[in-house]
């Protein structure tokens, strides 16, 4: 099986066209570099855009979708493999297991929750995989400020904060993540 990066992102496209452009660029880059995509399995929003971009360049896409969301998020039928699972917990665990690293693009509360969970799991030693944030148009600036504030106030160790690679440039972030994953 090819190495794969799990991408967390919105099931909506967002208001800023740069979000969609970044998702497509990242998907093309992953496929061109021979890295597969693991994601939430939907056709909509940035999720669908990144999956379509990987497929467009001949890449491998694994989608993991809870059965109850298959009608809301509209399961992507064109991907390499669609895995339906009973719960959100099983979705996330399977996505984490099938990935060598994680990249977050802009998204909503689900994206934030997934990003925070993998960071927490790395901190606890449950995982040891690179985490990246594609900070398109400064989308994640408030979150990054909050993480830095947590470090300053003694609630988060600086090592955990340093695990999170951040860039507004998809190529730069991809290179950092691949370097850290040692593939």
Higher local confidence (pLDDT), 36 or 77: 36
When the pLDDT of each residue in the chain is averaged and rounded to a whole number, the result is 94
At 76-119, the pLDDT tens digits run 989 999 999 999 999 999 999 999 999 999 999 999 999 999 99
What number of CA atoms fall less than 13 Å from residue 39's CA on the CB side?
38
Q: Which residues contact 171 (CB under 8 A, 6 or more apart)?
A: 29
User: What is the mean pLDDT of the segment spanning 132-158?
Assistant: 97
The pLDDT of residue 54 is above 80 = yes
| pLDDT above 90: percentage of residues in the chain | 87
User: What is the mean pLDDT of the segment spanning 150-174?
Assistant: 95
Q: What structural domains and CATH numbers belong to the chain? A: 4-181 (3.40.50.450)
- What pTM was estimated for this model as a whole? 0.95
Phi-psi domain of 8 (left: phi exceeds 0; alpha: psi -120 through 50; beta: other) = beta
User: What is the mean pLDDT of the segment spanning 155-170?
Assistant: 94
């Amino acid at each position: 099986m090819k190495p794969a990066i799990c991408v967390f992102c919105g099931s909506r496209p967002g208001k800023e066209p740069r979000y969609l452009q970044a998702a497509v660029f990242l998907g093309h880059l992953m496929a061109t570099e021979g890295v597969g995509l693991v994601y939430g399995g939907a056709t909509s929003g940035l999720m669908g855009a990144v999956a379509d971009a990987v497929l467009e360049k001949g890449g491998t896409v694994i989608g993991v979708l809870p059965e109850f969301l298959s009608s809301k998020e509209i399961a992507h039928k064109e991907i390499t493999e669609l895995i339906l699972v009973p719960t959100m917990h099983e979705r996330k665990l399977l996505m984490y297991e099938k990935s060598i690293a994680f990249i977050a693009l802009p998204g909503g509360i689900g994206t934030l929750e997934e990003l925070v969970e993998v960071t927490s799991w790395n901190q606890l030693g449950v995982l040891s995989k690179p985490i990246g944030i594609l900070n398109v148009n400064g989308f994640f600036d408030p979150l990054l400020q909050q993480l830095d504030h947590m470090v300053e106030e003694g609630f988060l160790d600086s090592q955990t904060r340093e695990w999170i690679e951040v860039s507004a440039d998809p190529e730069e972030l991809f290179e950092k993540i691949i370097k850290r994953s040692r593939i």
